Chain A
Amino acid sequence: MDLKTRLKNVSVIGAAGKMGSGIALLAAQELAFQALENPGEEFILNLIDVNDSSLLGLQKYIKDQCRKTAEKQVPRLRILYASREDLVDNGDMVDEFVHEVLSHIRMGKTLELAKDSLTVFEAALEREDLKFELFSSLERICPKEAFFLTNTSSIPLEVIAKATGVEGRIIGYHFYNPPAIQKLVELITPKVCRDDLVSFSKELAKRLSKKIVPANDVAGFIGNGHFMRDGLHAISQVEKLAAEHGFVQSVYMLDKVSRDYLMRPMGIFQLIDYVGVDVFQCILKVMDKYLPGQGLHSALVDRLMAMGVKGGQTSSGAQKDGFLKYEKNRPAGVFDVEKGEYVPFTQFSGQADAALGEHPTPGMDWKGLQRDPQKDSKIAAHFTACAASSTLGASLALQYARASKQAGELLVNSGVAADRNDVNSVLMLGFFHLYGPINDMV
């Protein structure tokens, strides 16, 4: 079955969620382009989620976002609409494309909508029991030749496949947030997987302008395999530093070091909050279950969750408080686990900054380096400067970078990633790091 036939009826499960809505948008746009390239043929996209209000929000999201896509793709649209004499101006074609995208969409709350789908994207919550339930139902509802592309970021595919009867027809298709923008798709091929599903997955990625990085079917895969260990390193460092500097200042310091000293777009605790403390905990649980004895657990994260500190975003995209407190989406305080309240940066940042000492390469940051053609040499010089510096900040940075490198090497050595390039690609594309964790600088 060719790609076009597979796309004639597509479903997205969990379509109104953070990842699902992005996947829904990509699918909707792709189906519209397929329809334009194959006049007279029908393409249907079923968007399935559990409640009406989020589906209404999804409709607006797709409408707004596909307009932006169309605005950027007018040259392509001018060719596709060449024979439509009623469409003359750029604006005519943008409007028509938005209409085209929406016209393929069917929305609903029941899985039965997916009954004719040959391709099913799954982006429900990252809970094993839920995935088992969904795939068992989908196996029953969908045609026997349907392919299942799951966005799971941690659960081994083999486990899902065996529990639900979709073995051979399921593959890990892990988009990064936000799916419409992030170029990376982590492709997790379980041991039993049809060849035509692998080739379909790769062909589809090309159509969606995504870059595939292959990962093996080991809980957490590459992305979370690294991110969880990176987060746990930060948490263990906080616990060590807390004796001298207190918990709040230690969280602040590790967040700052991981952002400003490692030249990352966000500090580690801001990133955990962005992903969601709840999601972080879910993924840790899955990994700990399938990779026991590796210390993939955090009492602190469990404690925060028990206190209702969850992070994540509101439906409008604003950052919710987690490890950190946010004002206008910027970190402004740290949660004190003992007192159960946020302490504003202003109360302690001076003291914490002084404890970290002077930044070894003042003025250098992620934003400034992003488009700098000399960024590689500048970053290498920065790590050399860190090694020559005796400040606490520089020492934490080096320890952090080494732990990050170790986490990456573990993924290669344990066969999760084929080689260091794949690990580095995931971190650079999926996490916007400026350099890969497996490098010769540390």
Chain B
Amino acid sequence: MKKLRRDVFIAAGAYTVSLGTGRREFNPRKPRPGLEEYIIEAGQASLAQISNPELIDEGVIANFMAARFNRQGNLAGFMPIIHPSLEFKPMVRVEGACGSGGLGVATGIKSVLAETADAVLVVGVEVQNTVKAVYGADILATAGYHAGERKEGHTYFFPNKFSMRAGAYYEKYGKEKARKGMATWYKNAVDNARLNPLAQEHHNQAADLMALGMTPPDGRFFTDHLNLFDCSKVSDGAASLIVCSEEGYKKLGLTRADVVQVVGLGQAEANLTTPPPVLTELTTSRVASQNAMKMAGLALSDIDVFEVHDCFTITGLLAVEMLGIAQPGEGADVVASGATTLTGAYPMNTGGGLVGYGHPVGASGVRMAVDVWKQLTGKAGAFQVPKPVQHGLFLSMGGDDKTVVSAVLKK
């Protein structure tokens, strides 16, 4: 697919608070909202932005592992609780581990391209604080190859996967500068989260974020090459948006200024049963983002704002290199230079990203698209980048660089 056969737009973005440790209102001992509450809150916030909810043609719900976190399957059946008019309309649930949200957006885009719909409500959700971290690690580990990897794997399976990537990066390019780059990524994430009232790290008042980020990793307690600040947290939350055609957004009572156009879409899947070809590269993500850029016909310099999947700070550094912003091994330097802050040349994860906003797994890809939409429509509030913005790119990644969706959006 060189070009989308029909103009496709994204509108009416919304997301909930990312609830978990760090938020003042989070109390692990008290009852908390469940899947339904999050789905309703995010979904209704999108519907509130359009003239008539009855005009939604289809729905997509993205989620990773409600079957185990919440003992709930058949999630498509939760869409009609958002609004009665959604009952008896086509709904589908998609799953691609941490990339579920990206898959959800892509699925919505394909429905519009297939002309089965002019307006698709896409909701991503995950409620993870239902189990202790040690069991949550088991659930998240299913994003890897369970039969082939889990038995030999680490207690904290995914943090260790990316710890191995970090270790390889340290060895190849130098630990000191890598750690500094990763600590800067953490600092930027929290700085941005402080501007985003919905972010999990919004209440973080630590004075010296760099010092926290530089905490030496200790394999006796966690992983060999990542500390806890290098990790996105365990989160509950949901995000929602509407994918629509031109006819669709007009019907919904929106103008071109309210929506952003999907000008590039890249999707790539890697073999789950084989290890990444190069630990210091996000090979699959590179294919997906390059395809999106190619379809958009844009160069890197044309992109004004980025949302990347920083499940760990090292992934942030690798994403900077994967996008071509830095040469291999120089991502750490580019991040440390401040190039990815709100006022830098490549503003990245402006609402906090996974490390700062939080990582309600199935919601993350949708939340990324919403944050780019917010920037391009001037709705980002305190975290609005100061420069004029025309194009943004998001990249949603599932597993260890296995299931990837990237899209370029245009104001």
Contacts and interface: CB of A to CB of B under 8 A. Distances in A.
Interface of A: 71, 74-75, 78, 85, 88-91, 94
11 contacts: A71-B132, A71-B134, A75-B154, A75-B155, A78-B154, A88-B146, A89-B138, A90-B134, A90-B138, A90-B155, A91-B134
Contacts of A85: 151
B141 interface: yes
A83 to B, nearest CB: 10
A90 B151 contact: no
A88 B144 CA distance: 13
Given A88-B146, A89-B141, A94 B134 contact: yes
Interface string B236-263: 0000000000000000000000000000
B146 A90 contact: no
A88 B134 CA distance: 13
B26 interface: no
Given A74-B155, A90-B134, A94-B135, 15 more contacts: A71-B134, A74-B134, A75-B154, A75-B155, A78-B155, A85-B151, A88-B150, A88-B151, A89-B138, A89-B141, A89-B150, A90-B137, A90-B138, A90-B155, A91-B138
A71 B154 CA distance: 14
A71 B151 CA distance: 17
Contacts of A74: 134, 155
A90 B141 CA distance: 10
Interface string B116-153: 00000000000000001011011001000010001100
B135 A91 contact: yes
Contacts of A75: 154-155
Contacts of B132: 71
B131 to A, nearest CB: 9
Interface residues of B, number: 11
Q: List the 6 shortest-distance A-B pairs measured between CB atoms, nearest first.
A: A89-B138, A74-B155, A71-B134, A75-B155, A88-B151, A90-B138
B228 to A, nearest CB: 15
Residue of A75, A78, A88, A89 with most chain B CB atoms under a 10 A cut-off: A89
Contacts of A88: 146, 150-151
Contacts of A90: 134-135, 137-138, 155
A contact patch SS: helix
Contacts of B151: 85, 88
Contacts of A71: 132, 134
Interface in B132-181: 132, 134-135, 137-138, 141, 146, 150-151, 154-155
B78 to A, nearest CB: 26
A67 to B, nearest CB: 10
A88 B135 CA distance: 12
Residue of A71, A78, A88, A90 with most chain B CB atoms under a 10 A cut-off: A90
A91 B69 CA distance: 13
Nearest to A89: B138
B307 to A, nearest CB: 31
Nearest to B157: A90
A368 to B, nearest CB: 16
A94 B133 CA distance: 13
Nearest to A77: B155
A231 B61 CA distance: 64
A376 B23 CA distance: 32
A327 B141 CA distance: 45
A74 B156 CA distance: 9
A71 B138 CA distance: 12
Contacts of B137: 90
Contacts of A78: 154-155
A332 B154 CA distance: 48
A76 to B, nearest CB: 9
A78 B160 CA distance: 14
A141 B137 CA distance: 49
Contacts of B150: 88-89
Contacts of B134: 71, 74, 90-91, 94
Residue of B132, B137, B150, B151 with most chain A CB atoms under a 10 A cut-off: B151
Interface in B3-36: none
Nearest to B132: A71
A78 B138 CA distance: 13
B138 to A, nearest CB: 4
Nearest to A92: B138
A89 B138 CA distance: 6
B152 to A, nearest CB: 9
B77 to A, nearest CB: 27
Nearest to A86: B151
A221 B84 CA distance: 73
A187 to B, nearest CB: 27
A75 B151 CA distance: 12
Residue of B132, B138, B141, B154 with most chain A CB atoms under a 10 A cut-off: B138
Nearest to B142: A89
A320 to B, nearest CB: 24
A78 B154 CA distance: 8
Contacts of B146: 88
Nearest to B138: A89
Interface string B48-59: 000000000000
Contacts of A94: 134-135
A90 B142 CA distance: 12
Nearest to A75: B155
A363 to B, nearest CB: 18
A181 B137 CA distance: 25
Contacts of A89: 138, 141, 150
Nearest to A68: B132
